[in-house]
Every structure is written in C-alpha cells, then in structure tokens.
C-alpha cells in the first residue's frame, strides 16, 4: 500500500500528475486543489496517497494535505461515492468548507457537480458525526488565519502580491506546520529573500 510519494513532477495535466521517485514514474489522480499547488515540471513535491485497488487495476489518488486525504477516505466509505466523485468533490470544496457544510446541513447549497439534494442529504446523515471527530474545521480555520496574517504582513513589508503568489505553496506549508505567526513570518521571509 502506497501512502506517500516524494519526488519530482515529471508531468502534469489537469487532475493528473506523474511523480518521478528515483526514476520510477507514479501516475496519480489529484483534485484541482492539489493540482494548482503542484510545482512546475521538475520541481520537488510530496503527496499524501490513497491507493485504490480494484480487480483489474491499482489507482493512486494524491493530496496536498492530510485533511484532504481524510475527507476523501470518508467520502468513499459512503455507498455510491467512488474515488472519481470524491476527487471531484474535493476539487470544488476544501476539507474545512466540507466539514462546515456538513455540520450546518448546507451541503446541497454548495452547487458541487455530481452532488444533488439526495446525495447531499445522505452524505450529511452518514458523515456529520464522523467528520466532527476529525477536528478538521477548527484546525483549518486556525491555519487559514495564520496564512492570512503572514500574507498581510508580507504585503505591509512591501512585497507585491504577485511575488507572494509565486511562493504561496511554501508559505502555506510553513504556516500549516503548527507555527505561531512570528515563526511562520520569519520562515516565510527566508523564502521570499531567496528570490
């Protein structure tokens, strides 16, 4: 069972990537949220992997964050939700938004392709208690706050938005590491100064 891949992006196209790990290329299906965070071809990346085994094939699904993988695993535990639909859902909604929509009962209002009122109701009924146990909503809100504060501080220090966006995946990684704002800003400044 493959749980993590760390290597270079050998190829990427919308929703798909090939990760070169020491000369072996692994084809991985990714949600758009992860796809847009991938570096350019040749850049180093790390993906959390869910391995789906069927009678005739093995498919790898990759995620930028552990929260995404956990939500994906919960989604495919629901009858009628396969890996493709779960990936599609995560392309349109973040794990924190999904957790919030489940707890408020407003998943059907999110207008996610492939989720009609019946499926939204079933997902809410089956996953509401399970997802609250993961604590995704609170963690994600805290991380988002740190990222926003770091970006705001960098803008106040005179960095342009375009410069920050070029390094946003590194800044998010630093901020998601449980750092306080001061540590996250210090590490993010090191990233910005390398330019």
Alpha-carbon distance 193 to 42, whole Å? 22
The residues facing 13 across adjacent strands are 16
pLDDT at 97: 79
Between these two residues, 83 and 146, which has the higher pLDDT value?
A: 83
Domain ranges of the chain: 4-63, 66-134, 138-193
CA quadruple 111, 118, 32, 12: dihedral, nearest 10: -140
Give me the CATH topology for the region 4-63.
OB fold (Dihydrolipoamide Acetyltransferase, E2P) (2.40.50)
CATH homologous superfamily, domain 66-134: 5' to 3' exonuclease, C-terminal subdomain (1.10.150.20)
Q: pLDDT tens digit string along 71-97?
A: 999 999 998 899 999 999 998 888 877
Which run of H or E residues covers position 53?
Answer: strand 44-53
CATH topology identical between 4-63 and 66-134: no
Length in residues, the chain: 195
pLDDT at 138 over 70: no
Q: Above 90 in pLDDT, residue 170?
A: no
CA max distance for the chain: 56
């Amino acid at each position: 069972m493959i749980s993590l891949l760390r290597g270079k992006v050998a190829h990427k196209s919308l929703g798909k990537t090939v990760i070169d790990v020491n000369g072996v290329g692994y084809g991985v299906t990714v949600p758009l949220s992860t796809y847009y965070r991938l570096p350019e071809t040749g850049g180093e990346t790390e993906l959390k992997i869910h391995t789906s085994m069927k009678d005739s094939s093995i498919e790898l699904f990759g995620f930028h964050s552990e929260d995404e993988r956990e939500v994906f695993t919960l989604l495919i535990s629901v009858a009628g939700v396969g890996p493709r639909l779960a990936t599609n859902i995560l392309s349109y909604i973040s794990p924190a938004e999904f957790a919030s929509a489940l707890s408020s009962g407003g998943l059907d209002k999110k207008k996610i392709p492939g989720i009609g009122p019946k499926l939204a109701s079933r997902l809410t009924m089956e996953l509401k208690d399970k997802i609250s146990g993961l604590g995704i909503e609170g963690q994600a809100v805290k991380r988002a706050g740190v990222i926003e504060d770091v970006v705001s501080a960098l803008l106040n220090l005179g960095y342009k938005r375009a410069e920050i966006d070029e390094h946003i995946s590194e800044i998010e990684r630093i901020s998601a590491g449980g750092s306080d704002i001061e540590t996250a800003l210090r590490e993010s400044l090191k990233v910005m100064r390398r330019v």
